[in-house]
Amino acid sequence: MEPEPQDLPEAVKMQVDAHIEQAIALEEQGQLQQAEQVYQAALNLIPEPKYAFWETMRIYVGFGEIHFVQGQFEQAAHFYQECMKMPEGFINPFVLLRRGQIAFEQDDAITAAEHLTRALMLEGTEIFDEEDPKYLDFLKTVLKAPPGGW
């Protein structure tokens, strides 16, 4: 059974959001180790059960991105798998995209096709616009073209 989403107290939410924004800025500057530390500080502010809060998924996506961009797919997979346990994590298009990309990189074509297809169904081909074209190219080999083509 999926946990019921909860809202953080406003003061905690503001602190967590500020940490997340700081971590994203550090990521964009290539300061990945510092970003990871800031994400951890944000996670430490969230009470148990951490999985019940949307902000936890944002933090886990941040951890996952740090590892994904470094090609550390096993570590990234862990964080995106954890996202699937959170409220609406299993229907989050970005989480599904990354799960599929990671599976592709780990030569797991079945899991890659499943998650990439789900991301495509939720967001359309636009979700692949900023991604390496190899992921959509792979998907085109396992799916029929939609009416009107790709």
20 and 83 share a domain? yes
Residue 134's pLDDT is what? Answer: 98
Distance of alpha carbon 15 from its chain centroid, rounded?
21
pLDDT band at 109 (very low <50, low <70, confident <90, very high): very high
pLDDT band at 3 (very low <50, low <70, confident <90, very high): low
134 and 114 share a domain? yes
Tokens of 3: 């946990």
6 and 80 share a domain? yes
In the chain, the number of structural domains is: 2
Q: Is the pLDDT of residue 83 over 60?
A: yes
100 and 140 share a domain? yes
Q: Quote the pTM value.
A: 0.92
Q: Is the pLDDT of residue 150 over 90?
A: no
**Rounded to 5°, angle at Cα 85 from 95 and 15:** 75
78 and 106 share a domain? no
pLDDT tens digits, 18-46: 999 999 999 999 999 999 999 999 999 99
CA distance 127 to 142: 18
122 and 67 share a domain? no
77 and 103 share a domain? no
Residue 145's pLDDT is what? Answer: 85
Q: Which amino acid is at 30?
A: G
16 and 76 share a domain? yes
100 and 146 share a domain? yes
Listed in sequence order, the residues at least 6 apart from 59 whose beta carbon sits closer than 8 Å to its beta carbon are 16, 20, 39, 42, 43, 46
97 and 75 share a domain? no
48 and 77 share a domain? yes
133 and 112 share a domain? yes
Q: Which domain holds residue 145?
A: 92-150
Listed in sequence order, the residues at least 6 apart from 33 whose beta carbon sits closer than 8 Å to its beta carbon are none
